[in-house]
Amino acid sequence: MPHTGSLDPVPALPTLDAVYARLEQASFLDALWQRTLGAWSSDAAVQAAVATRLGWLGAADTMRPHLAQVRAAADDIRTAGFTDVVLLGMGGSSLAPEVIRQVIGVRDGWPRFRMLDSVNPGAVREAMAQAATSLFIIASKSGGTIEPTVMALEARRRLVAAGHEDWGSRMVAITDPDTLLYRQAQQERFRHVFVNPPDVGGRFSALTLFGLVPAALMGLPVDTLVERGAAMAEACRTPTLRENPGVALGVAMAASAACGRDKLTLLPSPSLSSFGLWVEQLVAESTGKDGHGVIPITGEPPRTRYGADRLVVTLSLAGESPDAVALETLRATGAPVVSLTLDDPLSLAAEFMRWEVATATAGWLLGVNPFSEPDVARAKAATGALVSRHEREGHLPVPAAAVTIGGVALTASRATAAQTGSPEAFLSQVHPGDYLTLLAYVSPSDSGVTEALTRFRTAVGAQNAVATSFGYGPRYLHSTGQLHKGGPDSGLFIIITSETADDLAIPGASYTFGVLETAQAVGDFTSLDDLGRRCLLLRLPAGEPAALETVLNRLLLALPA
């Protein structure tokens, strides 16, 4: 079948035959494509919610009538003299476009494209440095997500300051029908307004307008992307389940998790290195609930040691290969390996569809609703409560530090304090089958902090066979945050935030970008603490990455070999 890439046979696992038998007995494939709500739950309320999330299955048919409008808008923007296109979004609304940019790239003659999914003051300033000649895309399914909302307020301020009183003509909205964003876009006469089908969840929206409009603004052939996705959708209807590219991958994920191999370890070839960003949010948010979950692990450093908890998926662009040393090391541990190959970069669209089918399949097999995110609201509520406190009292309450090292304040969750007695002994809690996640509320361009965390992750991986992952806040709240709270209690979380040396006001608000960022970090720590998770909060003095390195080296002393 053309443009579907290749899938090596899924490796033998002890539970594999039983898993396929379950799918056959339940007529899962027919239920999936016929959108049979009873396949997901017998509860009427759950069925009603699932009914609003299955539109991705027919994305190609739904999108084809929109493509002429998308192409016309892209041509209009290309010829209007914009130097930059800046996407303001979070989670599923932003990660697919960012992966498309990194894997396929912006065609010559089109504006530079960048994605902003941070409220860090430095990141906001950097993304909007060329505001006077930029077009801004506000992408939000709900139309009211706090991060793109405040980003858009700052974009508007900068456009007006640059003399663009008709600032709406430099804005594009992508949202669901009749949202607050939709109504604002109509009222303020945005240059273009795209209304996405409402029955598609954000993390399943890569092949809808949330992915296609940004792709068109990179000069990419959106018709081809839709047809590559459609070809994979057709392949994923293959009734022989072991030959079905999406179902077979989902079976490998679920069967491996049943055998204790719940760390889905992605090994991409160089051109596909960013693909893990999108896989993380899809798999983690879809499967990580009710104490279950497939844990995506991407970007691990070289010389990592591996335990017996891995499923490996290699993803290669034709002519490229993943890290051979890492692959052979993983094979030596007995890890099953699934190999996927893309014919060319545009086949990325087919992979979006393959992984969506695989994730839905794995969710069904794990007994969870892959279309809900019940724990995401917990951190949002905690953040909102902290911001409200700041508005009432003029300061942001933060947890008391148990110890301060080199100016870095360390606060341990109650579960950690009970087990270790000291934040410095945080890593003594690492056990086989655990995973360690570093969650940094800093600008992605803050090389000092990022490099210190990379060195720490490298040292942990070389010393202990615990899987490690890394995420920027608040991005991860909309991707892996659901897994952290609702998935298995095998995670250890280190949240890093920093005092803000040069804060940035949010237009019309009584709090700043820096206050919002800190509230999100502290709110997530509070949520994890309330759930009994093993968590450590590090609050850094402004602009001192060396202080972070000192603390991280101290933490390494407690890591079991």
Domains 59-226 and 376-556 share a fold: yes
pLDDT-based confidence at residue 551 (cuts at 50, 70, 90): very high
pLDDT-based confidence at residue 232 (cuts at 50, 70, 90): very high
- Global pTM reads 0.96
The angle at the Cα of 363, spanning 49 to 227, to the nearest 5 degrees, equals 80
Q: Which candidate, 540, 446, 448, places its Cα nearest to that of 494?
A: 540
Q: What is the pLDDT of residues 257-266, one digit of tens each?
A: 999 999 999 9
> Residues of the chain with pLDDT > 90: what percent?
89
User: Greater confidence, 5 or 493?
Assistant: 493
Top-level class of domain 59-226: alpha beta
Average pLDDT of the chain, as a whole number: 94
Instruction: Classify domain 376-556 at the CATH superfamily level.
Output: Glucose-6-phosphate isomerase like protein; domain 1 (3.40.50.10490)
Parallel, antiparallel, or unpaired: how do β-strands 408-412 and 435-441 relate? Answer: unpaired
**Helix or strand run (H / E) with residue 237:** none
List the chain domain ranges: 59-226, 376-556
pLDDT-based confidence at residue 289 (cuts at 50, 70, 90): very high
Per-residue pLDDT at 380: 86
Averaged pLDDT, 162-187: 98
CA distance 74 to 218: 8
Q: What is the pLDDT of residues 470-529, one digit of tens each?
A: 999 999 999 999 999 999 999 999 999 998 889 999 999 999 999 999 999 999 999 999
Q: Tell me the CA distances in angstroms from 225 to 56, 61, 351, 354, one per residue in order.
A: 14, 13, 11, 14
The angle at the Cα of 181, spanning 214 to 118, to the nearest 5 degrees, equals 60
Is it the case that residue 466 has pLDDT exceeding 60? yes
CB 139 within 8 A of CB 193: no
CA distance 513 to 151: 9
Is it the case that residue 10 has pLDDT exceeding 70? no
User: Sheet harboring 403-405: ordered strands across?
Assistant: 403-405, 408-412, 534-540, 491-498, 435-441, 467-472
Judged by DSSP in three states, 146 sits in helix
Per-residue pLDDT at 92: 85
pLDDT-based confidence at residue 445 (cuts at 50, 70, 90): confident
CB 399 within 8 A of CB 455: no
Averaged pLDDT, 398-423: 95
